[in-house]
Each structure stands twice: as structure tokens, then as C-alpha cells.
Structure 1
Amino acid sequence: MDSSSITDEVSYEFLPYFRAFKDGRVERFFGTDVVPPSSDSQSDGVASKDVVILPETGVSARLFMPSTINSGQKLPLLVYFHGGAFCFGSPFCPTYHNYLTSLVAEANVLAVSVDYRLAPEHPLPIAYEDSWGALQWVASHCGGQGPEAWLNDYANVRRVFLAGDSAGANIAHNIAVRAGVEDLAGVKLCGVCLVHPDFASRDGYVTKTWLFACPGTTGSEDPRINPAVDPNLPRLGCTKVVVCVAEKDGLRERGWFYYETLRKSGWGGVVEIIETQGEEHVFHLFNPTCEKAVTLLKRLASLMNEG
């Protein structure tokens, strides 16, 4: 075998989004295009900016703030984790920038969209650690003395919500579990929304993508992918969870299994499940103006404005 054929040998691919080669090269076909943040909120009612939130690792985030906010007003804060099989995606690409802009405008909240590091260059659990670090960064603003003025001035850290889609929903769940176990210095996590979440199946099957992104996993015995084996599930650190599934999504049954598992776990909160008929995985990101995507957006917005 010549050297060129070795170089081109694929170790894993998730087409049409991602390909990794055995020589360490990675090709990403989604999430690599960048739309700049918008300091002018006149066109869509939302301003955005990028900040480094973990200087020691360079992890950053895109922040979103509605233009309707008034001086001294405190709004709920959403921390969002993008999807992409733990291997691709970005808060800075048009798909996620536009979605968070629409969600912030609809819900009238602040948002932190986290740019956690991606596998395989940064295998799991690095994405979990980055995401937990992002929530700790949020917590650093509890006394109004944090590094980011938008959060100091406008964020109600007693009304924090987590959300994510696909792998990002998995991250949001795991961060919520950790928030129920560890102290967050004044942050009150009120709710979590998991859109088309990526978990183990009812029979314990885990996807090849998970095994690729988390080479140290124990598979179906790993509580990060299989909440049914997590002794800390009853300590989930919020009072409301909304699980969203889609009828034609290959992960649909996993979302239902998660919902049933959480409902029976002894956790003291309220869990709700919403199924969108006739749609596939993360349809709302790729067809955001369709009626069902707008309905889903409004449901997420209402979660952050209840109570």
C-alpha cells in the first residue's frame, strides 16, 4: 500500500457533514462558514457579540441581547449548546446564528451560545468540561461583577435555562445533572429543553458517532449517553424539562426513552414531551420558517417565560 492510500484512509465519516482520516486530518462540511456578530439590532431586534469565556483554553461564545431591553431590566438567560454529533457545528455559522437570533427575539431573553471544542481533535469529555466551564463563567456574574457587561447589567442569573439540539441536547442534560450535584454560586437553573436529543436507545445501543467522539466510553454503561444508568439522574438540577422529538427522526425513540426514564427516576420536577409529526431530525434548523418550526420555537420561548 503506497503512502497516498494510507493518507486517504477514512477512520470515520458522518456524511454529508464530516469526515475524519486515519492520519489525523478532519474535513468538516457544516459549521465552518462564519457570519459576523451584529452590533446593529435594528434589522432583527437582536444584537450579538463574541467573547472568550475560558481564556485558558480559548473557548468562546456568541452572546445575544434583544434590542427591547431597558436600563436596569433583568431578563432570563439561555445557555445554548449546538448539535453536530460532538464533531461539527458552531455558534458562528449562519444556521445557529440565525436560530439563536430568532429565539432570543421571540423569547425576549439573553443567550450564550457556547463554542465548545470538537472531537476528534478534542475527544469527549472535553466538550462537557468546556460546557460546564461556560456555566461557571455565567455564575461568575452572580454579584454583578463578572467579566461581561451584558450579563452584569441585564441577566437574571436566578432564571437560567439550558437548551440544545441533538448532541447539544445531550450536553445540556449532562450539564443539568452536574448542576444538581455541584454548587453554582447563586445561579438558579430553572429549565432545560432537549431538542431531538442523542442518547442510548431503549435496548442500550449507542451510535458509532458516540463511540468515535468518546473513545474512552464504556458504551451503554456510560451515564453520559445512557441516563438510565446514572445514579445522579434524580438530582437533575432544574424544575422543568421539555423533550422535543420528531416523528421521522432516527433518534425519536431515544427521546421517548429519556422522557420515560426521567419521569420514573424519582426526580421532583416536571417533564413534558412534544412530538412534531411528519418531520425529521433538526428540521427546525434547516427549514426555520415552516409552520412547525415556528411552533417549536414558540414553545421553547414559552418555557423561558413561564412562572
Structure 2
Amino acid sequence: MEAAAGAEIANDLSPFLRTYKDGRVERLVSNNFVPASEAPGANGIATRDVVIDPATGVSARLFLSVAAAATGKKHPIIVYNHGGGFCTGSAFSKLFHRYASSLSARAGALVVSVDYRLAPEHPIPAAFDDGWAALRWVTTFADPWLAFHGDHTRTFLAGESAGAVIAHNVLARAATPEGDDIDIEGMVLLHPFFWSHQRLPLEIDDGQKEGPKPLFVPEKLDNFFSFLLGSTEDHPCAYPPVEVVASLPCRRALVAVAARDLARHRGRRYAERLQRHGKLCREVTFLESEGEDHAFHLYRTTRPSAVALMDSVVKFIDGGERTPPLPNKKPVVERGLLHDPAMNLSVGAYDKVCWDNLVANGSSAGNNQIRITPRPMVRNALVVRPGKSASSVLSFGGLVKNGPMKIF
């Protein structure tokens, strides 16, 4: 709804919305809606809309690969929650339709994109309740696409930005007695929009740096979450405590952040907590896109970093079909990348290098630096010692990540 000229603003929550003292809400992000079509599009994806709960109006758009369906096999189910700060966006908008369609085509998955109710008309926890209703609906397999093509043993909860927070809260609810009958293979959180009023040290450091500022700054996020939650107090739904993260009932998780995004520090901490304390999650994959900001992959879909992120998500989803449990969490090498399931941070595998038993016992530092532990922990591997370049063939143990490295 657009406000009349001269209307007095009550809350300016750019870039999402403004509220006015007369009660009106002006959304600053427009939706270009795309109709569903069971006739497959150019990428071979058929879509249709379903009503999940007539009482609340919660609905979803289903995405199904016609080629995948023709195989007669069961395919992964991805329950996807769009972003938009809990107050903008729609599963039916061009932006999120395009992403869900691409995800379905690339992963060969049946994607259920949830159109949840938006704040402030429907305050939090309405979005979490709607996400939960969608997951419960999926588990009934009442829809023919789900019944004939969905593999209930490979159900994933996913989302980006605010949608990632919704996915987390839905999974946390599945850890309660309400979710005793729900089986979740994995969780995919892209640029999770976790926040609290208490600053992390690295967030303070970010504010003091010169150069381009991130899309979001702390003061704006403080105001935004205070408005959403109706309180200046921190809330566990916005920044979950360790005990909630530890209880999440999924077998695998992928957490991706962008290197210029202010929220990356909390995303990284979330992944670390899940890896360290998770009782049921046996594998945590952490990804960081260098040089990118929040939700870049939605707007710059052909950029190499966006393609790489989609590749990682597809590989993660596909891994649920063939990857056995990894009780000892040994690293594996695939497609030239070393993956350490202890934090699943990656570096390129160099020529003629055999990787074995990397242990992530170092600590990450800013500016793509890696702190190396003094005790060698790798056999037959590329080894890097302080002061040496990454092409040196030595032995090391430490925490590694995507992107250029500086060893010190």
C-alpha cells in the first residue's frame, strides 16, 4: 500500500517497508507475480499452486522436474522459505519463482515454496507457524505430486535470509514432541538473517573498517528486529541459543554466508555451534562467498559465485541419496575440493596431493587468513607452515576455507 503525500512516518524500515502513524504500511519492495503452469517451462519444470491451510490462507507453489518425474524414481523434497525480512516477498513473485525453479531443475527435487503470512499485519511467529503448517502438510503426502514423486526419507528444510531463520525455527519445532513423527534429512540456510542487540566483536570491527559498507548495518538491524518482535529484548527465534541449535533433528546441514554481509559472523557461529554441540546432525557444511553481499545469488544468478553456490547446494541435496553416515568424520576429496566434515570448510586440492585426515583444530581469522596449529596433523598432504606459500609441500593442521589464503 502506498502512503499519501505528506503522511507522517512512524517507522522507516528501509529497504523493506515504512509504516505510518495512520496505520498504513508501505512496502518498498514490489512483487512481479508469475503464474503457475503445469506445462513445463524452458527448463523442464512444471509448477502449480496449492492451499495448505484455508483458515490462515497459507499456500505454496510446487516445482517438479518433468524429466525427473518421468524416471519413476522418488526425488528429494525441499521445503523452501523465501527471504524478504519477514515482511516482503512471495513464493509467487518472479524473483523467488526463478530461484525455486532453478533449484528444482538442478537438484532434480520437488520444491515446495511456502507463501507464508507477512509482518507487520501478521507478526512473528506467524511466519514460523506457517512454515510448520507447510512441513506438516508435506508429511501427509496428500498432494499427488508428493505422493508419486516425493521421497519422504530425503526431506530438506531450506531458505535464504529471513527464510533461513524460518527454516531453523521450523526445524527447532520438529525437535519438540510435536515433531516426533517428522524425519528431516537436511537443512540448507543461505545467508541466515540471525541478529541480536548484543554485538559480536567482529561486528564491531566491521563498523570501524573503511571502504564499502555492507547492505545492512547494526543500527538499522536493531531497529528492524525491535519492530518485528515488538521489543528491544533479544529473542531466541532471532538468534537461537546453543541448546536449541544442539537439539536440531536433521542429519546434515549446510550454512552459507557472504563475505561482505554483516550477518556472516552469526551464520558462521551458528555453523560452529551446530557442529560442536549438535546431537543428531552428523555433518555440517559451511560455505563463504568471497566479495559478495547478502542474497547476491538471487539477483546475479549467472555470476560465477552464484553458480558455485548453487552447485554446492545441489551437491549437498544429492549427497543424501548416496553418502553413508560418517561417524569418524573423516574428510573426503571430491572434484578437486577438500571437504572436512568437522566444519566442511574447503580448499582447492592441488595437483599430486593426497589429502588424509585433516582436523579442523585451528581458528579462523579475518581477511581470509588461516591460523595454523603447530602440531602436524596431515599425512601425505599439502602442508603449509607459517611464512610459507600455499603451494609449499609440507604438513599442517588447521581451519581452512574457500578463497585466497594468507598463512601466518
Q: State the partner residue of 1:182.
A: 177
Structure-to-structure mapping, 1:140-179, within 5 angstroms? 140-141=140-141, 146=142, 148-179=143-174
Q: Which moved more, 1:263-272 or 1:165-174?
A: 263-272
| Offset at residue 159 of structure 1 (A) | 0.9
Match status 1:235 vs 2:235: no
Deviation, structure 1 residue 223? 1.5
How far apart are residue 183 of structure 1 and its match? 4.3
- Note if 1:219 corresponds to 2:219: no
Looking at structure 1, the residues matched to 305 and 24 of structure 2 have their Cα atoms a distance apart, in angstroms, of: 38
Mapping 1:234-253, distance limit 5 Å = 234-253=246-265
Aligned partner of 2:214 in structure 1 is: none
Q: Given the superposition, is the C-alpha separation of residues 42 and 266 from structure 1 closer, same or farther in structure 2, using an over 3 Å criterion?
A: closer
The question of whether the paired residues in 2 share the 8 Å contact of 1:196 and 1:282 is answered with yes
Q: Which shifted more, 55-64 or 176-185?
A: 176-185
Contact kept, 8 Å, 1:157 with 1:187, in 2: the verdict is no
Task: Say if 1:139 and 1:185, in contact at 8 Å, map to a contact too.
Answer: no
1:305 maps to a residue whose letter is D
- Greater C-alpha Rg: 2
Amino acid at match of 2:317: M
Residue 22 of structure 1: aligned partner: 21
**Whole-angstrom distance in 1 between the partners of 2:186 and 2:111:** 14
**Structure 1 76/31 Cα, relative in aligned 2: closer, same or farther at 3 Å?**
farther
Q: CA deviation at 1:185?
A: 6.6
Of structures 1 and 2, the one scoring higher in RCO (CA 8 A, sep 6+) is 1
Q: Following TM superposition, by how much is the alpha carbon of 1:82 offset from its aligned partner in structure 2, in angstroms? A: 0.6
Q: Give the whole-Å Cα distance in 2 for the aligned partners of 1:194 and 1:109.
A: 17
Secondary structure of 2:119's aligned partner: coil
**Contact 1:158/1:186, CA 8 A, preserved across alignment:** no
Give aligned pairs, total.
295
Report the counterpart of residue 67 of structure 1 in structure 2. 66
Alignment of 1:66-145 (within 5 A): 66-68=65-67, 69-70=69-70, 72-141=72-141
**Deviation readout 1:165-211 (Å, 9 max, x if unpaired):** 11110111111111122344754201111111111257378632222
Q: Which residue of the other structure, out of 275, 281, 299, is the alignment partner of 1:286?
A: 299
TM-score by length of 2: 0.68
Q: Displacement, 1:30?
A: 2.2
- Contact in 1 for aligned 2:174/2:180 (Cα 8 Å): no
Distance 1:110 1:266, change over 3 A: closer
Q: Aligned to 1:195, which of 166, 190, 193? A: 190
- Residues in 2 aligned to 1:105 and 1:72: alpha-carbon distance in whole angstroms: 16
Structure 2 Cα separation of the partners of residues 31 and 135 of structure 1: 27
Alpha-carbon separation, structure 2, partners of 1:121 and 1:260: 35
C-alpha change, 1:131 and 1:42, in structure 2 (3 Å) is closer
Contact 2:44-2:66 at 8 Å conserved across structures: yes
Q: Give the whole-Å Cα distance in 2 for the aligned partners of 1:265 and 1:101.
A: 34
For 1:30, what is the secondary structure of its paired residue? coil
* Stretches (4+) displaced over 6 A: none
Instruction: Deviation per CA, 1:126-154: give whole Å up to 9, x if none.
Output: 1111111111111111xxxx1x1111111
Distance 1:9 1:257 in 2: 40
Structure 2: distance between partners of 1:33 and 1:63: 18
Matched letter for residue 281 of structure 1: H
> Which amino acid letter does the alignment assign opposite residue 21 of structure 2?
K
Q: TM-score w.r.t. structure 1 length? A: 0.90
Aligned partners of 2:139 and 2:180: how far apart in 1? 6
| 1: CA distance, partners of 2:28 / 2:225 | 19
- Provide the C-alpha distance between the structure 2 equivalents of 1:296 and 1:138, rounded to a whole number of angstroms: 26
The CA distance in 2 between the partners of 1:62 and 1:160, in whole Å, is 16
SS in 1 for 2:246: helix
When residues 153 and 247 of structure 1 are mapped into structure 2, their CA distance, relative to the original with a 3 A threshold, is: same
**Which of 188, 198, 208 is residue 223 of structure 2 equivalent to?**
208
- Residue 260 of structure 1 deviates from its aligned partner by 2.3
Instruction: Supply the distance in 2 between the matched residues of 1:108 and 1:258 (Cα, whole angstroms).
Output: 28
How far off is 1:92 after superposition? 0.8
Give aligned-pair identity as a percent: 41
* Gap runs ≥5 in structure 2: 201-217, 324-408
Deviation larger for 99-108 or 294-303? 294-303
Q: CA shift at 1:219, angstroms?
A: 2.7
